[in-house]
Structure 1
Amino acid sequence: MVTVVPSRKRGGSTSRTTSGAFPGSALHAATAVASVNKMAAAKRKCGDRRFVSASGPMSRLRVRTDPRVSAVIGAYPGEVRKRILALRRLIREAAREADDVEELEETLKWGEPSYVTKSGSTVRIDWKKKAPDQYAVYFKCTSRLVPTFRDVYPDTFTFEKDRAIVFGMDDPVPKEELKQCISAALRYHKVKRLPRLGITR
């Protein structure tokens, strides 16, 4: 199982750290790994490929979560909340699948759920009352991110200037393509000099 460890951040706010590490003795750890692997096998049998064994590459990611994020997401209208939660899961999947991302911080910036890595550019997700029929993934507008996404996926996404990928409430979300974009953002300082940020179609 993944452990959740409360931690204290600057200013006294509390965050949670999730880790793939198991506490206790080596025997306890071996038992826990076997249990997770058994559960992962059952998940794969049911067609859920987001779960892998505890010793697999996805288990390295540590997610540090500010509890205020869940409060913000919980305050969205019901249908909006479903879509924002889907984006949240997609961001975590993209981080887990990136070999060089070991820690993901989920926090608030400008009151919006935001995702930060040591080598990346901040990714934000939000829905705004002034535009109730859409929601978006936001990127740093002075980076190469959105211009590159527009070059690679000109007909796949709707863009807002150089700062966002925008979805209508009924739009299908091209998950694999969006994960490529998110992965590039989370690893931006490692890929920013690569052609097309290292994105391959």
Structure 2
Amino acid sequence: MTFSTSVLAVLDSYPGEVRQALLRLRDLIHDTAGQNREIGQLEEALKWGQPSFLTVKPQTGTAIRIDRDNSGQGDFALYVNCQTSLVSEWQAMFPHLTYGSNRSVHFTLEEPLPEDELRQMITMALTYRSKKRKPAAKRRSHP
């Protein structure tokens, strides 16, 4: 794992409960990646001023960003690239969660963090590109 002092500085700048929730989400991202060989090592950085997590191994996944939520849909959120199909897939799998268009899932401090769902979402995001390539490779090898 590659940890970033700039990411930690941003997270430390948030009020207590939001900071703790985002730190827990950050830990969950790293823990989930660490348990999946396909994902491999993560790199932390700031992307658009938000803590961002991306696989070091190229062509594996799409970046995950986390931040406090200023949209009014929750207290903090997990963001992915809006050009992926991830959020629509998550909506079908987990309709009970709150989504922001095609780029985010939102959480409140009053509700427990849905860790099982989040682990699946994190895995899907961090393997997004490799999963998209595999079906194409299979089709080419079977005429």
Q: Same fold (TM over 0.5)?
A: yes
The partner residue of 1:74 within 12, 15, 30 is 12
The partner residue of 2:63 within 98, 122, 127 is 122
The partner residue of 2:111 within 171, 183, 190 is 171
Q: Deviation of residue 111 (structure 1)?
A: 0.6
Q: Deviation of residue 121 (structure 1)?
A: 0.3
**TM-score of the pair, normalised by structure 1:** 0.61
Q: What is the match of residue 134 of structure 1?
A: 75
Aligned to 1:80, the other structure's residue is in SS state helix
Cα 1:161/1:194, change in 2 over 3 Å: farther
Q: What is the match of residue 107 of structure 1?
A: 45
Tell me whether 1:96 sits opposite 2:34 in the alignment: yes
Aligned to 2:52, the other structure's residue is in SS state strand
Q: Distance in 1 between matches of 2:75 and 2:132?
A: 29
Letter in 1 for 2:95: P
Q: Distance in 2 between matches of 1:71 and 1:88?
A: 13
Tell me whether 1:144 sits opposite 2:85 in the alignment: yes
Q: Which gives a bigger RCO, structure 1 or 2 (Cα 8 Å, sep 6+)?
A: 2
1:13-68 deviation line (CA, Å, top 9, x unaligned): xxxxxxxxxxxxxxxxxxxxxxxxxxxxxxxxxxxxxxxxxxxxxxxxxx112210
Q: Distance in 2 between matches of 1:101 and 1:193?
A: 15
Number of aligned positions between the proteins = 132
**TM-score of the pair, normalised by structure 2:** 0.85
Cα 1:79/1:86, change in 2 over 3 Å: same
Q: Deviation of residue 167 (structure 1)?
A: 0.6
Q: What is the match of residue 124 of structure 2?
A: 184
Unaligned runs of 5+ in 2: 136-143
Q: Is the 8 A contact 1:144 1:192 kept in 2?
A: no
Q: Distance in 1 between matches of 2:36 and 2:5?
A: 25
Q: What is the match of residue 51 of structure 1?
A: none
Matches within 5 A, 1:23-102: 63-102=1-40
Q: Deviation of residue 132 (structure 1)?
A: 9.3
Q: Distance in 2 between matches of 1:160 and 1:100?
A: 28
- Structure 1 vs Structure 2 CA RMSD: 1.9
Runs of 4+ in 1 over 6 A off after TM superposition: none
Q: What is the match of residue 59 of structure 1?
A: none
Aligned to 1:64, the other structure's residue is in SS state coil
Q: Distance in 2 between matches of 1:108 and 1:79?
A: 21
